[in-house]
Structure 1
Amino acid sequence: MELQETTAVVTGGTRGIGRAVALAFAEAGATVVIGARDGADVSETVAALEDRLESADRSGAAAAGLRTDVRDEYDVERLVETASRTGDSSGIDVVVAAAGVYHGDAGETPTDEESYTALDDHWQINGRGVFATIRESLPHLNDGARVLVPTGAIARDPKPGYGSYAISKATAEAVARGFAADTQYTVGCLDPGQVATALSGGGGRDPEDVAGMFVWGATDADRDVLDGNVLGLAEWKRATR
C-alpha cells in the first residue's frame, strides 16, 4: 500500500498511535505534517520522519510540523494551511485526528466522581478537537480525501471507571458520523483495540503494530464501508491477509 504523491496531516503526531501512524505514512511515501502541543517533541518527530523518508528513498515527499493545540481552532487552521503547501503537491489527501488526552489512570476515573475540569478538557481535546481538525481541513481537502479518527470500544461499550474519557470518545465517533453524512469526503473511525500508550496505562499492542491499519484506512479500505462507520482489527486483518 503506497501513499506517494499524497499529503497527510496527523494531530497528536508525536506520541502513541499518532507518531506510529505518521512514521508509517512516511514509510509509504506520503508527505506528512504533524501537530502536537509540545514544540520540542514536534521538532524531534519531524526529524524522525525525515530520516524515515530518506531511508525509504521517498523522493518528492517531505515532513513538517507545527506546535498545535487542537483546543484552538486557529492553531489547527495554521496546521492544515501549512500542510496544504508542503511537498510537491497541493492540498490534503488524508487527515488523522489522533490528538487525545486522559486525565487520571485508565479505568480509575468513574463518572460519578469525575471533576468538571476533567470533563471539560476531555471534551475539548477528544471531542471538539476532532471537530476542529476536520472542520478546518475541509477547505484544503482534495477530491477523494479520507479522514480517519482513532477510537476504541469504550466509546460504544462503556465499562466502569472510564468516566468522561469514554464520553468524549463517543463524542468523537458522533463527530465523524456527522461529517460523513454532511460532506462529500470519506470520514470514518478505526478501532485498533487496546494499544500500549499513556492513555491506556501502557497495556496492549505496540502502536507500530497497528499503524498499518491506518495506512490501509487511508488507501485500500472500502470507502462505502468506512464512511460514517467504525472498522476494527477484524476488518483490517480480513482485508489484508
Structure 2
Amino acid sequence: MQSLKGRVALVTGASTGLGFGAAKKLIEEGAVVFITGRRQAELDRAVGELGSSATAIQADAANKADMLRVADIIKFVHGRLDILFANAGGGHATPLEELTEEQIDRELSVNIKGVVLTVQSLLPVLRDGASVVLNASITADMGLPGFAVYASTKAAVRSLARSWTTDLKHRRIRVNTISPGVVPTEGYSHVQKLSDDDIAAYATRVATEIPAGRVGTAEDIADALVFLASDSSKYITGIDLVVDGGITRVYAGRN
C-alpha cells in the first residue's frame, strides 16, 4: 500500500545523492514530486530516471527569488504542498588553519540560509498539517576533525526545526530533522575529490565501526523520510531522527 498516495512533495538538491534517492522513494510511495537543483543538465537526467511523477525546477535554495518562483509553480500546478524535504546542502573536511572565508560563507549560506529561505518561501503553499523535514547530520554530535563549520551548520538546522515546531504549531505543520550517518554518494567524488577505490576502502574501514555492519544508503535515508512524511508519524514533531546504523551511540559510549 502506498503511504503517500496523492501527496505533493518538494525535495531540494535532488538531482543526485540523498535528494535523488528521497524523490525516488516518495514517488514509489505514491507522491508527485518536484525536485530542485542548480544544474539543469543533472535535473534533466534525474527526471528522465524518475519518470512522469517528477517535475524539475532549476533553483538555488539559498536564493529567495528562486524559491519564491518554486512556490509559485507548485501553487499553480497543484495548489498546495504536503511534504517538504529541505535537503540541499553541502560541505567538506578542511583543517581549521586552511579554512577560507569563501568556504565559510558558502557553507553557512547553503546549509543555514538555504534552509531558512526554502521553508519561509514555501510556507504560503504548505497546507495545514503538512510535514517539513530538514536534512541535518551526525557530524553535529561527533566533533570530527576538519568538519567544524559544516557540523555547526547542521547543529543550527536541528535548532531551526525545534523553533519552527512551535512557530508553526497553530497550523499543525510538523517539523523534524533527519541526521544521516556515513552514506557514500556522488558528493564523495564531486566534493571530497575521492576516487572510487578511495570511497570503497573508506566504506569498508568505517563499516567495522558501525553496529549495523555496513555504511548507509540513500534508500535508508529515504525510508526515514517516508516515515516522517506519512501519517505513521502524525504524533511526532520536533525530533531528530538519527539514521546511522548506530555509530553515534558507539562513539557516545566511548566518551
Aligned twin of 1:22: 23
* Paired residues, number: 218
Deviation at 1:231, TM superposition (A): 1.3
Segments of 4+ moved more than 3 angstroms: 198-204
* TM score, norm. by length of structure 2: 0.79
Counterpart among 74, 77, 82 of residue 93 in structure 1: 82
Counterpart among 196, 200, 203 of residue 184 in structure 2: 196
Counterpart mapping for 1:63-142 below 5 A: 63-86=54-77, 89-102=78-91, 104=92, 108-142=93-127
Counterpart among 224, 233, 242 of residue 232 in structure 1: 242
Deviation at 1:112, TM superposition (A): 4.2
Asked if 1:219 is matched to 2:207, the reply is no
Q: What code does the residue aligned with 1:211 have? A: A
Counting aligned pairs with the same residue, the percent is: 29
Aligned twin of 2:221: 210
Q: Distance in 1 between matches of 2:186 and 2:110?
A: 15
Deviation at 1:223, TM superposition (A): 3.8
Counterpart mapping for 1:151-190 below 5 A: 151-184=136-169, 185-190=173-178
Deviation at 1:85, TM superposition (A): 3.1
Q: What code does the residue aligned with 2:33 have? A: V
The one-character-per-residue Cα deviations of 1:147-185 (angstroms, maximum 9, x if unpaired) are 001221112332221121112111222222221121131
Asked if 1:145 is matched to 2:130, the reply is yes
Q: Distance in 1 between matches of 2:135 and 2:164?
A: 15
Query: Structure 1 unaligned runs (5+)?
Result: 54-61, 236-241
Aligned twin of 2:208: none
Q: What code does the residue aligned with 2:54 have? A: A
Aligned twin of 2:6: 5
- The answer on whether the counterparts of 1:7 and 1:91 sit within 8 Å (CA) in structure 2 is yes
Counterpart mapping for 1:30-45 below 5 A: 30-45=31-46
Whichever of the two has the greater Rg, that structure is 2
Query: Structure 2 unaligned runs (5+)?
Result: 193-198, 204-214, 246-255
Q: What code does the residue aligned with 1:158 have? A: G
Q: Distance in 1 between matches of 2:232 and 2:20?
A: 21
Deviation at 1:109, TM superposition (A): 1.1
Q: Distance in 1 between matches of 2:154 and 2:221?
A: 19
Q: CA RMSD in A?
A: 2.0
Q: Distance in 1 between matches of 2:139 and 2:61?
A: 22
Q: What code does the residue aligned with 2:35 have? A: I
Q: Distance in 1 between matches of 2:86 and 2:184?
A: 18
